[in-house]
Amino acid sequence: MSDDLVLMESKAGIGLITINRPKTLNALNLQTLAALEAALTTLEQDREVRVIVFTGAGDKAFVAGGDIEDLNSRQGLAHYQGFAEVIHRVFRRVETCDKPTIAAVNGYALGGGAELLLATDIRILADHARIGLPEILLGLFPGAGGSQRLIRQLPLCLAKQLMFTGHPIGAERAVQLGLANMVVPAAELMSEVMALAADIAAKSPLTLKLMKRALLHGGEMTLANALAYEQSMIGLVLDTRDAHEGCSAFLAKRPATFVGE
């Protein structure tokens, strides 16, 4: 296994980012966050890549959180802020990425790992995955965007229970609550994720980009403003080559080929 903190590859329109610190269950220290951000930038800029998948090395953990040793070594507010600033920036970049993102959760997604998951579009869980926000057990609270994203993705009382107790939940329960899309047998995780990614990668990347922006920004607006915003975005989409290709292909009873223009 490579010593790189983050592994990156791309094939057939799908970019794969693997957080690679299996000895610490893929915990995120500052260097790993920097490598994660660099990999994300590369895949965002690669026009061939249409979907980005995140996973963790090994079969035990997606990401077991922020690196507790790194956090504990920091003295003073400025040092904590240094870490907080970077992890917030990286997770926000994941959340605002113009390309669809999928978390392939191959085990523990705890603390910062759950917070990374909360920033992705779609989450597929191996059956042994466990999701939790155990920060309270360390005398912390979820501070990498997790407290704010969780209360926007779960009913408030459920989000509070997870954060107040720090107890993780299993994969089936996470899907039942709506925190993830589906559970698959661990051995099939990557093939299921890649099949889903390939399905999305065949769609128009430009339409997906504009749809993602409509969902991201519209979700933070009043309904009246969000509807007006959606209307302008669909106006843009209707003018694209891909929209004409999709409609023409339907009428000609042939498969559409989308190019992102």
Nearest-angstrom CA–CA distance, 223 and 147: 24
Please answer whether residues 9 and 39 qualify as being in contact, where contact means their C-beta atoms are separated by less than 8 angstroms. Answer: no
115 is catalytic: yes
Which of the stretches 89-97, 138-146, 192-200, 216-224 binds ligand CO8 when contact is defined by CB under 6 A?
138-146
Nearest-angstrom CA–CA distance, 46 and 131: 31
Which candidate, 58, 53, 21, places its Cα nearest to that of 39?
A: 53
First and final C-alpha spacing in the chain: 39
Q: Is the dihedral of CA 31, 35, 38, 40 positive or negative?
A: negative
Which of the stretches 64-72, 94-102, 118-126, 230-238 binds ligand CO8 when contact is defined by CB under 6 A?
64-72
In the region spanning residues 5 to 44, those forming contacts with ligand CO8, defined by CB under 6 A, are: 24-25, 27
Number of residues that bind ligand CO8 (CB under 6 A): 23
Residue 163 contacts ligand CO8 per CB under 6 A: no
Residue 258 contacts ligand CO8 per CB under 6 A: no
Identified catalytic residue from 48, 135, 188, 245: 135
CB-based contacts of 209, cutoff 8 Å, min separation 6: 98, 99
In the region spanning residues 226 to 245, those forming contacts with ligand CO8, defined by CB under 6 A, are: none
Q: Shortest Cβ distance from residue 44 to ligand CO8 (Å)?
A: 23
Give, in order, the Cα–Cα distances in Å from 92 to each of 74, 157, 205.
23, 25, 20
Q: What is the spatial order of strands in the sheet that 130-132 belongs to?
A: 61-63, 108-110, 130-132, 169-170
Identified catalytic residue from 48, 115, 192, 230: 115
Residue 148 contacts ligand CO8 per CB under 6 A: no
Task: Using DSSP, state whether 251 is helix, strand or coil.
Answer: helix
Select from 13, 15, 100, 112 the one that contacts ligand CO8 (CB under 6 A): 112
Nearest-angstrom CA–CA distance, 11 and 206: 19
Residue closest to ligand CO8 when measured from CB atoms = 111
135 is catalytic: yes
Residue 91 contacts ligand CO8 per CB under 6 A: no
Residue 64 contacts ligand CO8 per CB under 6 A: yes
- The set of catalytic residues is 115, 135
**Which residues are near ligand CO8 by CB under 6 A?**
24-25, 27, 64-69, 80, 83-84, 87, 108, 110-112, 134-135, 138, 140, 143-144
